[in-house]
A and B are shown apart, each in its own frame.
Chain A
């Protein structure tokens, strides 16, 4: 009995130690992410809200042109574009910036024993902060065009959380691969550009008459639909889409676990 209690105590202490360490990593990653943002916008009078301003002009500019190109009323197109571009910026930021995350922290990893995970987490947290600033743009557009509905927002929350989680899980494999293979970064950048064009972000999926497989077999399009449909139409996404979304989550989690084994070796690749 005594040895059982002792074992439980040892395991509890080890678990508590691991949690403390993980929390310390998150805190340091958060400090670095906030520092990056403050440095980036230090010379701007708007501070980090410069991000929001940039996004607003981008969405308005694209919205006016492409609502005309697609012959869609502005009141329908602009909310769609604003919310899609905002989350696409988050997703592409996470993946693109993951390619340099570990290399940028090279000296702290090699000389101060800071874990490589810290720098991947820093990029993730930084993009979450940027998303929090950018989200004001679709919010303003929704209010102006009276598309705002709290019920719709609640219906979209699970899809949004899944989307943000999957982006985070995909970062570790990308970051580690980019340390091992130095030409992986331009490859990822090209892939992200292509993905932007073939995913319904600037164009609405219902505009596709033929070749609907572009959307049907595009996992990112499915991930977008999981929260965009509820948000814009007040309808939950199909069960089929949820199955695909959860499958992508499982795949991303597996890739993340497989890649995480390389964290111990990546210090040799820096």
Chain B
């Protein structure tokens, strides 16, 4: 499904003056070319249907970058990346939501980013899951409490079953009453997806959820071990 063959990624970092066209044209910029930081280094990885892959490692080890390469956001600067499936990256919880929009409009925008056009029935099902009152459907989201916003975002993002799910940290809702329900839904989504790739600092969570745990350091895979796999109850 997803194959990385000796993939490296050099991330260009521009000096402040190299971002100024005026300075470059006037010859005032000494450093026009960017400096490159190796974010991924010679990564080879084959991910097949049914895999639950956990990515662990310290900050800056390349977990998020690897997820973005797998999502097709970053193109490798060396090596080959092949994919024959549609990935669904959920790398930021509230990305795309606008607080001046109504809840319903935000749902359409959030799902549209993944190429999904929800039907009216989908919209109702998403709303029902949030357990919010109907009067909030068309109110601007800035009138919601943070707990209500989280419920809505979670409900929208987990309504459709992705083929390949890429997660940067587990999605959860802290709302006391809603936490159990959301944890159950999340487990369903993860269980039913053909592939899960989860980057997290929570080693216990990764070991319980994934059947393959990959440790990254400075952009390199330093260790691959097996996890307990999905099916174990989460803490």
Contacts and interface: CB of A to CB of B under 8 A. Distances in A.
A181 interface: yes
Interface stretch (B71-79, B187-195, B196-204, B227-235): B71-79
Interface in B1-38: 11-12, 14, 19-22, 24
B20 A182 contact: yes
Interface in A86-126: 107-114
Contact of A31 (B72, B109, B114): B109
Contacts of A109: 73
Contacts of A242: none
Number of chain B interface residues as a range: 20 to 34
Contact of B105 (A35, A108, A111, A181): A35
A27 B117 CA distance: 9
B21 A28 contact: no
A108 B95 contact: yes
A39 interface: yes
A24 B73 contact: no
B20 A42 contact: no
What does DSSP make chain A's interface, helix, strand, loop or mixed? helix
B11 A112 contact: no
B71 A113 contact: yes
A133 interface: no
A116 to B, nearest CB: 10
Contact of A267 (B74, B101, B109): B74
A42 B100 CA distance: 9
Given A32-B109, A112-B89, A113-B89, A39 B71 contact: no
A268 B21 contact: no
B95 A107 contact: yes
Given A112-B89, A113-B71, A268-B74, A28 B101 contact: no
A238 interface: no
B22 A183 contact: yes
Contacts of B96: 107-108, 112
B87 A113 contact: yes
B21 A112 contact: no
B101 A181 contact: no
A187 interface: yes
Contacts of A267: 73-74
Nearest to B16: A182
Contacts of B12: 268-269
5 tightest Cβ-Cβ pairs between the two chains A and B: A181-B21, A111-B92, A111-B91, A112-B113, A111-B95
Interface of A: 24, 27-28, 31-32, 35, 39, 42, 107-114, 177, 180-184, 187, 264, 267-269
